[in-house]
């Protein structure tokens, strides 16, 4: 692998779940690149990704490196040329996957290259080996920023004794959303009725004991309720590839499947933001689907999937059902009915609270910029 000649510019690497697998992660990268360039003039950024071609085609970045298939010696060459390696953002520290994401910062720390986190999320972390690995690497970071208080509590529970700064998800700063011309008609949506978006995925922790067929049936019941009660069409919005299959399985259980469509196009984050902005209401499990809706002022109802969704809703002053129970579907339907009736109030709450969250999100790049000042170490570890 031939390296470029050093330019003298500050060099930062960023590693996360990048490469086109998830629209939310791509939104995080889009914003992180913008924020870092604003905060650190002249910075040269290297993205460590799962798909070099996708990242190079969709992001303006100086260097793109295969994070998963590169040999260790190749990664060492790339990391050695950096002034700082960032881990994040997004929810990347969780059981059975944490080690994959900790590999690069561990190499950096062994080489004496500074490391920091970029508004990460974490959890669940129940496996002893993963908790130990997270603690080992995080305690060697020069700065630790997380996207919510829940992640901070979890890292403290794991044993992290240094300062952990709560900022906010970088995707909250995504701007310029515009749906591609003619996108919705091509997707079978012609504006004859209201439009409600749904984001579904496999059952999460809030429905861990619920069999998938029952789970899908309940979601189908909710979709039918929306179509009939509000005279609306349903647009299922896959935020990553496997969501497509989950959406089709839910539609197969519906009594009114002709009123539902699954978004099939491949859309960049700003394009997806523009599409979500056309919705009258958003009901979903994926955090970044809800973030996109909030950025567009669309009233949202979060379906219980993971604590990160509840944390986001709470910061917006919103609530949703705490769990999904197929024997008490009325609870879910009542929540949907309520958010529809109060959608103007929900939009107002979002508009009032979102700026504070965006201000927190902007802090992340400023904290990273401080690390580029010679001889400055942010947030030193506390002695035990």
Judged on CB neighbours under 10 Å (0-12, 13-18, 19+), 8 is exposed
Please indicate, yes or no, whether residues 44 and 18 belong to a single structural domain of this protein. Answer: yes
Q: What percent of the chain has pLDDT over 70?
A: 91
What range defines the domain where residue 168 resides?
A: 11-174+358-371
Please indicate, yes or no, whether residues 224 and 77 belong to a single structural domain of this protein. Answer: no
Query: What confidence tens digit (pLDDT) does each residue in 256-283 have?
Result: 999 999 999 999 999 999 999 999 999 9
CA torsion sign for 240, 242, 244, 247 is negative
Please indicate, yes or no, whether residues 105 and 167 belong to a single structural domain of this protein. Answer: yes
* Span of 206-215, 242-251, 313-322, 340-349 with lowest mean pLDDT: 206-215
Q: Is 165 helix (H, G, I), strand (E, B) or coil?
A: strand
Please report whether residue 4 resides in a domain.
no
Query: What confidence tens digit (pLDDT) does each residue in 131-152 have?
Result: 999 999 999 999 999 999 999 9
Please indicate, yes or no, whether residues 86 and 189 belong to a single structural domain of this protein. Answer: no
Does the pLDDT of residue 23 top 60, yes or no? yes
Question: What's the Cα-to-Cα distance from 153 to each of 69, 123, 166, 216, rounded to whole Å?
Answer: 33, 10, 10, 32
- Across 72-83, average pLDDT: 97
Inter-residue contact 43 to 10 (CB < 8 Å):
yes
Please indicate, yes or no, whether residues 317 and 367 belong to a single structural domain of this protein. Answer: no
Please indicate, yes or no, whether residues 194 and 313 belong to a single structural domain of this protein. Answer: yes
- Nearest Cα neighbor of 250 from 276, 272, 218, 209 is 218
Alpha helices in 230-342, H assignment, sequence order: 242-252, 269-276, 287-295, 307-315, 329-341
**Any idea what the CATH number is for the domain that residue 333 is in?**
3.40.50.2000
Residue 217 main-chain phi, psi, to 5 deg: -65, -40
- Across 289-296, average pLDDT: 97
Query: What confidence tens digit (pLDDT) does each residue in 306-360 have?
Result: 788 888 998 998 877 766 666 678 888 999 999 999 999 999 999 999 999 999 9
Question: What's the Cα-to-Cα distance from 333 to each of 142, 215, 283, 329, rounded to whole Å?
Answer: 47, 14, 11, 6
Query: What confidence tens digit (pLDDT) does each residue in 88-131 have?
Result: 999 999 999 999 999 999 999 999 999 999 999 999 999 999 99
Please indicate, yes or no, whether residues 200 and 70 belong to a single structural domain of this protein. Answer: no
Say how far apart CA 315 and CA 310 lie, in whole Å. 9
Count of domains for the chain: 2
Please report whether residue 384 resides in a domain.
no
Does the pLDDT of residue 3 top 60, yes or no? no
Q: In this predicted structure, what is the pLDDT of residue 382?
A: 37
Please report whether residue 338 resides in a domain.
yes
Please report whether residue 324 resides in a domain.
yes
Residue 71 main-chain phi, psi, to 5 deg: -70, 160
Please report whether residue 2 resides in a domain.
no
Please indicate, yes or no, whether residues 146 and 50 belong to a single structural domain of this protein. Answer: yes
Residues 290-317 as b or e (16 or more Cβ within 10 Å = b)? bbbbbbbebbbbbbbbbbbbbbbbebbe
Please indicate, yes or no, whether residues 145 and 222 belong to a single structural domain of this protein. Answer: no
Please report whether residue 208 resides in a domain.
yes
Please indicate, yes or no, whether residues 207 and 226 belong to a single structural domain of this protein. Answer: yes
Please report whether residue 161 resides in a domain.
yes
Please indicate, yes or no, whether residues 226 and 366 belong to a single structural domain of this protein. Answer: no
Please report whether residue 287 resides in a domain.
yes
Please indicate, yes or no, whether residues 230 and 282 belong to a single structural domain of this protein. Answer: yes
Band the pLDDT of 373: cuts 50, 70, 90.
Answer: confident
């Amino acid at each position: 692998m031939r390296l470029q000649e050093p330019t003298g510019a500050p060099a930062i690497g960023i590693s996360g779940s990048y490469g086109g697998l998830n629209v939310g992660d791509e939104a995080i990268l889009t914003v992180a690149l913008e924020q870092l360039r604003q905060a650190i003039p002249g910075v040269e950024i290297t993205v460590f990704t799962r798909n070099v071609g996708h990242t190079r085609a969709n992001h303006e970045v100086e260097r793109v490196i295969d994070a998963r298939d590169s040999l260790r010696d190749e990664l060492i060459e790339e990391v050695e040329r950096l002034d700082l390696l960032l881990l994040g953002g997004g929810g990347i520290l969780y059981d059975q996957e944490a080690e994959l994401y900790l590999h690069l910062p561990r190499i950096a720390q062994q080489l004496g290259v500074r490391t920091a986190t970029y508004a990460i999320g974490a959890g669940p972390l129940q496996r002893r080996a993963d908790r130990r690995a997270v603690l080992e690497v995080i305690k060697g970071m020069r700065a630790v920023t997380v996207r919510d208080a829940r992640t901070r509590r979890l890292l403290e529970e794991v044993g992290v004794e240094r300062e952990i700064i709560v900022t906010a998800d970088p995707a909250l700063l995504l701007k310029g959303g515009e749906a591609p011309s003619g996108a919705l008609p091509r997707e079978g949506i012609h504006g004859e009725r209201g439009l409600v978006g749904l984001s579904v995925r496999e059952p999460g922790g809030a429905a861990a004991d619920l069999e998938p067929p029952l789970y899908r049936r309940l979601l189908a019941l909710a979709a039918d309720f929306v179509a009939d009660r509000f005279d609306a069409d349903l647009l299922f919005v896959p935020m990553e590839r496997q969501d497509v299959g989950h959406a089709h399985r839910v539609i197969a259980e519906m009594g009114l499947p002709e009123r539902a469509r699954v978004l099939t196009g491949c859309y960049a984050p700003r394009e997806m933001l523009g599409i979500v902005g056309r919705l009258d209401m958003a009901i979903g499990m994926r955090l970044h689907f809800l973030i996109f809706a909030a950025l567009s002022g669309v009233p949202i109802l979060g379906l219980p999937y993971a604590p990160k969704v509840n944390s986001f809703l709470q910061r917006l002053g919103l609530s949703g059902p705490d769990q999904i129970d197929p024997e008490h579907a009325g609870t879910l339907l009542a929540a949907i009915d309520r958010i529809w009736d109060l959608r103007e109030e929900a939009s107002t709450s979002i508009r009032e609270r979102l700026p504070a969250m965006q201000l927190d999100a902007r802090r992340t790049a400023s904290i990273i910029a401080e690390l580029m000042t010679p001889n400055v170490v942010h947030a030193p570890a506390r002695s035990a």
